Amino acid sequence: MTPARSHGGLGRWVPALAPAVLGLGFEVLGRPIRALALFAVAAVMALLVLVGVPVARWVEAAVVTVVRALVAVVLGAAFLLVAIPAWCWRTATRRTPLEGAQGWRATTAGLGGAASLGDQTAASGATISTRVLAAVGLAVVLLAADYGIGWTWDRTHPDPLGVAAQPALDTGGVAGDPGATATTLPPDPRTSVPAMASSPWAAQYFVDLRGQEFGYWPFTADRPEDYASRYINIEDWVRRSWEPPDASGAPVVWFFGGSAMFGEGQRDQHTIPSEVARLAAADGLPITARNYGQRGWVHMQEALLYEQQLAITSPPALAVFYDGPNDLQAAAMFRDAVPSDLHADEYAQILRNKHIDTTQLSSADADGGFDLVEAYSEHSAVRKLVRWLASQPAGAAPSGAAVRSAPVQDDDGGSSVRNGDGNLIWGSIDDGEQGIEIYQRARAISRFVGDEAGVDSTYFWQPVSTDQPAVGYAREHLPKGVIDLSDVFGRAEGDVYIDTTHTNEAGARMVAEAMWARLKPQVEAWYRAHR
């Protein structure tokens, strides 16, 4: 009879020491969330040991059970894949599979013989601790289960495309699957919202939108690649706009902003810049609109692009800026009023060979080799659970479509809005205060740049379909000279918004009408000065 194993002394602390050591390893590797989770497990195990719970004995029993089950599965598979085919071969040919092979000789041995499978003398004389075998077996089973569960989840729950903000390096808008294309993904949910009901082109439009690609550009972080499609066309930073029949000698107006100025939800000929150009032509004051709107940009990026373009091309007659929600969202990323773009954390992840907001979390290393740890972590169920827990505020776990606009509690007690990936959009008064402070500093830069080039700059504040404290604070504290368009839609809000910040073409037309009412005197003054 095998004597009972003792779990006294250091042995009883193994269930607590093992996760603690792993946690230290992750801490050294710069993975604080994983380290914290393992330290928590170690603390729980230590507490159980202190109160007398035989954790080590339970773990050993569990390991033995799992290993026995694994051995049964392996032996069963071997029987099906080896023993049965060998028997069939022998029955059909009257020969054994190894008969005649060099160095092989069929023998028989009793269960108690020296050649039996369980006899240690049949091996080289080396012995392996059953505890070590049990630990290795348990580790293999747990790792396989962790990977298998995560892999299954990734296959059954592909990451949706975010509505509030697009990835800075979104290669074709395809999240998570480098082999997928814009047409193989589920339709953009905005295709079927009521505001797009009268737009039969919507499905193809959002396919075109997903096809847009970006590259790196100094200081602005990203730059749109030249792009040609049915409804979206971009060349040298500028999205195509409507042009009057005769634009020769017409003043050039540059339009800057985020995705709302870019025209997310609108075809080339019906963006805000296009509609302003159309209104100007109808009033006999034609202009040439250049749409520099960039998806996901904040005003600081626009000011830098403004400076860069003025350095390499002739200045425009007017510059128009249209901002708001992106600046508030970026401000929510930091506790201090630090200027940032919306994808700062994403770039940080990319620099570590990771890309957030997609299921493609790993890539080849700097030398082009294969990183086994990264390949495993891509589908690790434990890693997904820890990241999810870390992204959820206490007492709130929204899911589905509601998470895109549901207010949740920040660490400081404020209310914030998060999108489907758990990223902050805007919310607390602190977010509004920081957003306005950063916006005002960025606006000082763009005004200085424009003044130096002799360009008049006009600033508009973008309407949104949410009434969070940050939005209200921002409106009440807009810098002098910024024109607030928040009430431009009136009772038509439900008919124009396709999500929290973007509108259909009717909404773009309404914004353009409000803008043109303010820009018309400036354009008239330009024509008087150039006649």
Residue 457, beta-bridge partner list: 319
Helix (H) or strand (E) run with residue 261 in it: helix 259-262
* Whole-number average pLDDT of the chain: 76
- Can you give the pLDDT at residue 61? 82
- Can you give the pLDDT at residue 62? 81
- Can you give the pLDDT at residue 387? 64
- 485 pLDDT higher than 80: yes
Beta carbons of 241 and 290 less than 8 angstroms apart: yes
Sign of the CA dihedral with 305 first, then 306, 311, and 313 last:
positive
Least confident of 343-357, 404-418, 465-479: 404-418
Residue 252, beta-bridge partner list: 288
- Can you give the pLDDT at residue 166? 38
- Can you give the pLDDT at residue 124? 44
Residue scoring higher pLDDT (34 or 276): 276
- 515 pLDDT higher than 80: yes
Residue 503 DSSP code:
B
Sign of the CA dihedral with 385 first, then 387, 389, and 391 last:
negative
Percent of the chain with pLDDT over 90: 40
- Can you give the pLDDT at residue 401? 32
Model confidence at 259, pLDDT cuts 50, 70, 90, reads very high
What separation, in Å, do the N-terminal and C-terminal C-alpha atoms of the chain show? 110
Tens digit of pLDDT for each residue in 111-144? 444 444 444 444 444 445 566 656 666 677 777 7
Average pLDDT over residues 492-496: 88
Residue 325, beta-bridge partner list: none
- Half-sphere exposure for 311 (CA within 13 Å, toward CB): 7
Tens digit of pLDDT for each residue in 283-318? 999 999 999 999 999 999 999 999 999 999 999 999
- Can you give the pLDDT at residue 176? 36
Nearest of 216, 351, 205 to residue 225 by alpha carbon = 216
- Can you give the pLDDT at residue 373? 66
Percent of the chain with pLDDT over 70: 68
Sign of the CA dihedral with 472 first, then 473, 474, and 479 last:
positive
- 205 pLDDT higher than 90: yes
Residue scoring higher pLDDT (233 or 30): 233
Return the structure tokens found at 339: 């200027």
- 109 pLDDT higher than 60: no
**Phi/psi at 456 (nearest 5 deg)?**
-75, 130
Model confidence at 102, pLDDT cuts 50, 70, 90, reads low
- Can you give the pLDDT at residue 289? 97
For 524, the 3-state DSSP assignment is: helix
Average pLDDT over residues 391-409: 36
Model confidence at 197, pLDDT cuts 50, 70, 90, reads very high
Average pLDDT over residues 332-351: 76
CA distance 481 to 55: 68
In this structure, which amino acid lies at residue 322?
Y
Tens digit of pLDDT for each residue in 136-193? 666 777 777 777 787 777 666 644 333 333 333 333 333 333 344 555 678 889 999 9
Fold of the domain built from segment(s) 189-330+432-529: Rossmann fold (3.40.50)
CA distance 54 to 56: 6
Nearest of 250, 359, 338, 343 to residue 294 by alpha carbon = 343
Beta carbons of 290 and 266 less than 8 angstroms apart: no
- Can you give the pLDDT at residue 296? 92
Return the structure tokens found at 211: 């096809």
Question: How many other C-beta atoms are found inside a 10 Å radius of the C-beta of residue 381?
Answer: 17
Whether pTM exceeds 0.85: no
- 398 pLDDT higher than 80: no
Return the structure tokens found at 291: 């749409």
Residue environment code for 284-311, b if the CB has 16+ CB neighbours within 10 A, otherwise e = ebbbbbbbbbbbbbbbbbbbbbbbbbbe
Model confidence at 426, pLDDT cuts 50, 70, 90, reads low
**Phi/psi at 461 (nearest 5 deg)?**
-105, 130
- Can you give the pLDDT at residue 133? 59
